[in-house]
């Protein structure tokens, strides 16, 4: 059963959204007013998704959503009363996975939340892949720089410099995958003597 944190702009609408979520098989962990300190609730209750019912998101709210996206990633759905294409684009950029205009309709709620969760998963997969690629590129640059230092100082071939880095990693009881760590240390040491 998906666990939901509900954020409302006014207390009157909270009951309708909460009831619709329950009818669609979701567990409502907490309902907070937008004016309250609701961001701390993300960490405290660890919801599977965040659903907001507001008139129109402002810059402050979008900054808060951006914080959620970076610190506690999870699907965020906004049901807004007003239509503004610039705010919609800014909301998606901040980390909103579904932005629905004209409030929520209990009959469509399940499919909207399903789409938001699916979009979130795709986004997280791409984000994780990008992080791995950046890390791999950083490691490759470190190894290439360390090889360059060894090739320059020792007049070794590229292959011999790489084998020396591998040997240094093994001598320190490190896996071959940790060659980048050894390379980083070698670079730091060489900078000390420049």
Is residue 74 classed as helix, strand or coil in its secondary structure? coil
77 close to 49: Cβ distance less than 8 angstroms: yes
Q: Which residues does the chain have with pLDDT short of 70?
A: 175-177, 194
pLDDT for 194 = 65
Q: Enter the CATH code of domain 3-107.
A: 3.40.50.2300
Interval 55-75: pLDDT, tens: 889 999 999 999 999 999 999
pLDDT for 126 = 94
Structural domain boundaries of the chain? 3-107, 133-192
pLDDT for 176 = 56
The pair of three-digit structure tokens given for residue 154, joined into one six-digit string: 């020792």
Tell me, yes or no, if the pTM score tops 0.85.
Answer: no
Q: Which CATH class is domain 133-192?
A: mainly alpha
């Amino acid at each position: 059963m998906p666990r939901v944190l509900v954020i409302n702009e006014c207390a009157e609408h909270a009951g309708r959204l909460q009831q619709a979520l329950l009818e669609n098989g979701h567990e409502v962990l907490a309902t907070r007013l937008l004016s309250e300190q609701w961001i701390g609730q993300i960490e405290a209750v660890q919801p599977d998704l965040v659903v907001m019912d507001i008139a129109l998101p402002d810059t402050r709210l979008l900054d808060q959503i951006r914080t959620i996206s970076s610190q506690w990633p999870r699907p965020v759905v906004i049901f807004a009363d007003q239509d503004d294409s610039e705010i919609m684009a800014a909301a998606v950029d901040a980390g909103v996975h579904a932005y629905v205009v004209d409030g929520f309709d209990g009959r469509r709620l399940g499919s909207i939340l399903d789409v938001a969760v699916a979009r979130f998963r795709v986004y997280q997969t791409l984000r994780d892949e990008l992080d791995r690629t950046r890390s791999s590129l950083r490691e490759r640059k470190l190894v290439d720089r360390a090889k360059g230092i060894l090739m320059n100082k020792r007049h070794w071939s590229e292959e011999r410099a790489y084998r020396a880095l591998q040997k240094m990693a093994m001598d320190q009881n490190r896996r071959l995958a940790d060659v980048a760590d050894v390379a980083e240390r070698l670079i730091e040491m060489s900078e000390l003597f420049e």
